[in-house]
Structure formats: C-alpha cells, structure tokens
Chains A and B, each alone.
Chain A
Amino acid sequence: MSSLRIIVPVKRVIDYGTPRLQFASPPIPPPHYLNLVLLPPLSPAIKVRVNATKTDVDRNVKHSMNPFDEIAVEEALRLRERLGADGVKEIIAVSCGNAKAQETLRTALAMGADRAIHVEVSEEEKLQPLGVAKLLRAIVDKEKPDLVILGKQAIDDDSNQTGQMLAGLLNWPQATFASKVDIENTLLKVTREVDGGLETVSAKLPAIITTDLRLNEPRYASLPNIMKAKKKPLDKQTPETLNVDVTPRLQTVRVEEPPKRQGGKKVDSVDELVDKLRNEAGVL
C-alpha cells in the first residue's frame, strides 16, 4: 500500500452562506424593533425557509458543495501534493443524490479529483446518513480505497453521522473532527478537535477521516481546471446497481420555524445595563 487511493464523498446542500465565504442574512426582527434600528442590507446568501406544508425547507434555492466536504477534497489534494503522484495514486469523488449532484462532482473534479462516481437517488430528500453510509460501503467494496475522507457534518441535516457509520460498517478505524492529518507509509496520525482542546490518535490504513473546519482552507477551481473537469470520467451507479436498501428509517413528522426571540431593548449606559441585569433580568 505504498500508493494510496482516496475516496472523498461530497454532498450538494443548500448554500445559505458559509462563514468562510460570506455572511448569512440576519434573522427577521420582530416588528416593534423596526422602529429602533435600521436593518443592514440583506446579503445575497440564502435564508433557509420552511415550506408551506411544513414538511421540509424550501429547496428551490442556490445549492453548493457542503463546506466540510470542500475541506475533505482539499485535504486529499494536499496529501497528493505532499506524498507525490506515487504516494497518492487516485482521488475519487462520490456523491449520492439526484441528477444535480453531478454539478457538485464537477466542482470536486475541477478542484483536482481524478474521477467521480454519481450514485443517483431520485428521492434525494429521503436519503439519510445510514443509507449513504451503506452506498459508500458498496463503493468502497468496489474501489478498494485506503482512505475515505468525509466532512464531519452536512450543514443541512447537521447529523454528524455518515463517516462514523461508514467506519462501523467497514470495521475500519475512524479519526473524526480532524484538524491535522499526517500519513507515513501505512500509518495515519490525526489531530482531532475535542471538547476542551485537541487529541492525537493513530491508526493503520485503511481508515476513515472526517474533517473539521480548521483542517485547511479549500482552493477555488480555476477556469482552465473547470474546463478540464468536464472531460474527466464520471460513472453512474444507483442503489439498485449497488444492491443497497436506502429506505429511510426516520420519518419527518413536521418542520417548523424556530421560535423568534423578542430581542431589541437598547440601553444608554453601562449603569443602566448593570441595573437591568440586576433588577429586571435577574442575571446578576
């Protein structure tokens, strides 16, 4: 295993603005507040809204690659830059979802992945982490990678499960929430972000890594690379061809707007603030 094959699963999610790229629009203030403050102009990023039937959020909005997955693609590319083309033989991007998942795969290819596999799932909204982990296991069985690098969570369902589930299904070691990755021969050393600080674990390959935000700063695809990416191979699979049952285990009963905070009281001085905190809010 002197030459690694790396699989990077990527997810197409609603782009509501990542902290790295842009600021999200502010929550809508309660009406009485309009008297008190001029609203900043709404930024172009998307505010997620619950749909009319309260079964999901409105998905007819701009989508992009899950930011943690961009970090995963970047880390695979950086491993190849460090270990050389002999050290990392191939980087394969995989996405499970509807036909538009191919756009996300082309982005990964434009960043520098070598080829892509699209697992087409028609009812994308019903795909859940366990189903995705099983699809990825089937891809791993076919492609025999040494390493799978996933984002630690998708910013839509916020589950933080798929990488761990895949590790469990494969019985591979897992290094989650990675902020630093080193590979020497077949030994992986990962610094993980844990509550209170950092810890370091090592594992023999093959293994699963999930990325934390501080692992790296993903590159942008250049225009020539975007053009080249159009010619890179993109294979298609389905849950049927992979023989995987992706029946959802969780049923969404309803989706609601979060309760709005009744914020917005301004004070004029530190003295008034201390007084309110002591006598009105009971905080002190």
Chain B
Amino acid sequence: MFALKRAVTNAAHIGLQTRPLLLRGYATAADINTLLVVEHKDNAIASSTLNALTAASTLGGSVTALVAGDSPDVVAKAVAGLAGVSKVLVANDPTYGHGLPETFAPLIIAAQKKLNFTHMVAGHSAFGKNIMPRVAALLDVAQISDIIAVESADTFVRPIYAGNAIATVKSTDAVKILTVRATAFLAATAGGSTASSEPAPDADKTSPSEWLGEEIVKSDRPELGAAKRVIGGGRGMKNGENFKLLYDLADTMGAAVGASRAAVDAGYVDNSLQIGQTGKIIAPGISGAIQHLAGMKDSKTIVAINKDPEAPIFQVADYGLVADLFTAVPELTEKLKK
C-alpha cells in the first residue's frame, strides 16, 4: 500500500480563507502582545515554529520571540530577521540546551511577568506540546491545542475526535496559550529588517529532571512534518526492506517518507515516521483507517496505490490506482526519472 501527497501550502480550506479575521470585543490589534516560543536544534529553527509565527502574526499586534538554548545566538539572529518578529528575547544557558519543560516554563513565566503577553504561541510539536500546558497551569489559564485557524483574538478553530469534528472555541482567560498545527499555516519567511534583541529575564534554572541523551533518525530526505511531498507506506509493504521501493521513489521526487501505525508497529520503520492522530500531522494515506486519515486528509492532493479496490483510502484520494504496489511503485519511479 502506498500513497503520495503534496502538503497544504496555504491555510487549510476550513482556515483563513473562509473565515476572515475579525478582531471583536475590546481588544484591538494594538493591544495584542504575543510571545512566540521558538524551537530549534543544531542551529536551525524548527519548521513548526515558522508556521506558528504566521499564526501569531495573524493575531495582529506585536510578536516577541523567545530563543533559549545553550548557544542560541545563531538562531536568535535568524529569528530576528523573520517577517513579523518585533523583538527577540535571548536566554543563553546550558540548562536550556534540550528543551526541558522544567526550566523552560519558569523562563516563560518570568518573561510574562515582565512583558504582559496577551497570547503565547508555539508549534504543536513534541517540544510545544510538552512545555506549553505546564506554562498554562502555572498561569492558571487554559490552553488551546493544535489550532488550525484564528477566528479572532479570543476565538480559535481546532480539530477534535481525530479530526472527525471541528470545534470553534472561545477563551475567557486573560492570556491565550495556543499550539499551532503546522500544516494549517504558511511558514513565515525572512523579512526586510532585523528585530531588536535583548537578554531574556532571569529565571530559576534548577531542574528536577535531567536530559540524558537522544537517538535521532538521520535522513537526507525532507522533514516529514514540513515536506511538500510525502510517500507513505503501510502494512502492505510486508517488511522493512521493501520500504526501499518507497525511498527510491521519494528520492526521485524529493519527497519525505512516512508510515502508518501498522507499519511502525510491525517494525518496518522507525516510529518517528508515523503519520496520524498520535504521530506526525502532515497535511499520506494507506488503507485509510480513521486515525491515519487524521494526519493526512488535509493534503492538497492524495494519490493512493492499493490492490484492494475497496480500501477506504480511495474515498479520499484524488487519484487512485488499483494495482500491486510491488510492480506499480518501481514503474512509477522509472517513469518519473525520465
């Protein structure tokens, strides 16, 4: 089983295009003061932060970016050059090296005390999901997770039940804490100017937890959450070696490779490639189990190759080919090379 897709490159159809931004109530754009919590690794800004910045800019008002790390200067400079960033707070300390929520949350609270943000925004990535609810609890406010659209300064749209319903929720809290679904917002790009930079306020850096190490899957292919094209494999791949067929096709197209939970559970590929409700949300499909569709049905174009003509994936695929992937995929790779 196999699917190919092209990620959404503009706001999802239920997003900004059909719901104009209406800033209602007493808050005016000038009052809006947003903190963007920047995720980065190896001197590069995480792509989900770029999408979160676009969501933050959509709110109106000013956007202050917080860059914390054990040597954050390269990233802080890059963030200062992004369109929409008005100020950068830099926290340089070894305790911020690995994104531990136990040190990040006090830092964000210290920034809040000093600068009185009305909104706090981060990507709905493992980093953002880990830190932001802790911050919300410390501020005694709710969090609105995984937003796909901004309707106004206090009203946001988010999927529930694995994307089977879309809820519009209004926050009554003084501070709105948001995590942002990357595929629902364009990535921010470099602007024409450089924002001012200043040290972040000092905060308690003692942590009851310690980062011990990591095993990151190395790949030359595009990052799954941000790739323009994704090739997805499921249980039908039968084993891990067969994924080479997909890697060859992906390399021909400049695509990332993703997988269904069934393929991950069977050990064909690493879990970091999982697409669906509990893994990566990207805007591919395999048999089309509902949890898998949750991660991919907002793709612009979905292509399904499956020998079962009744596979549910064909109900959402723009182009379906009923064929054995073990012959169709190599053929596709060859024809695309021409």
Contacts and interface: CB of A to CB of B under 8 A. Distances in A.
Interface in A264-284: 264-271, 273-274, 276-277, 281, 283-284
Nearest to A202: B210
Contacts of A195: 46, 125-127, 225, 272, 280
A174 B134 contact: yes
Contacts of B212: 189, 199-202
B170 interface: yes
Nearest to A217: B265
Nearest to A161: B133
Nearest to A203: B209
A168 B291 contact: no
Interface in B131-161: 131-138, 140-146, 155, 158-161
Q: Which of B134, B135, B169, B293 has the most CB of A within 10 A?
A: B134
A191 B2 CA distance: 30
Interface in A107-128: 128
Interface in B77-122: 98, 100-102, 105
Interface in B178-219: 207-217
B133 A129 contact: yes
A268 to B, nearest CB: 8
Interface stretch (B26-34, B52-60, B65-73, B306-314): B306-314
B14 interface: yes
A263 B130 contact: no
Interface stretch (A76-84, A92-100, A151-159): A151-159
Contacts of B160: 57, 156-158, 255
Contacts of A173: 102, 207-209
Interface in A11-43: 14, 16-19, 23-27, 29, 33, 37-40
A173 B155 CA distance: 31
Interface class of chain B by DSSP:
mixed
Contacts of A213: 261, 278
Contacts of B225: 195
A130 B141 contact: yes
A193 B334 CA distance: 36
Interface class of chain A by DSSP:
mixed
A77 B331 CA distance: 50
Contact of A256 (B137, B165, B314): B165
Given A24-B290, A27-B293, A265 B318 contact: yes
Contacts of A193: 126, 271-272
A175 B167 contact: no
Contacts of B131: 164
A53 interface: no
A48 B137 contact: no
Nearest to A24: B290
B165 A258 contact: yes
A66 interface: no
A168 B135 contact: yes
A160 B145 contact: yes
B335 to A, nearest CB: 5
A159 B214 contact: no
Nearest to A206: B208
Nearest to A249: B142
B289 interface: yes
B164 A16 contact: yes
Nearest to A28: B315
Contacts of A207: 208-209
B137 A169 contact: yes
Contacts of B253: 284
Interface in B284-338: 287-291, 293, 297, 301-303, 309-310, 312, 314-323, 328, 331-332, 335-336
Contacts of B287: 23
A197 B215 contact: yes
B40 interface: no
Nearest to A276: B319
A266 B323 CA distance: 11
Given A160-B129, A274-B336, 4 more contacts: A26-B290, A39-B310, A250-B142, A266-B322
Interface of A: 14, 16-19, 23-27, 29, 33, 37-40, 47-48, 50, 57, 128-130, 133, 152-153, 155-169, 172-177, 179, 189, 192-204, 207, 212-214, 249-259, 261, 263-271, 273-274, 276-277, 281, 283-284
9 contacts: A19-B289, A158-B158, A161-B136, A164-B129, A173-B208, A213-B278, A257-B166, A273-B303, A274-B335
Interface of B: 4, 6, 13-14, 46, 98, 100-102, 105, 125-127, 129-138, 140-146, 155, 158-173, 207-217, 223, 225, 229, 253, 261-262, 264-265, 270-272, 277-278, 280, 287-291, 293, 297, 301-303, 309-310, 312, 314-323, 328, 331-332, 335-336
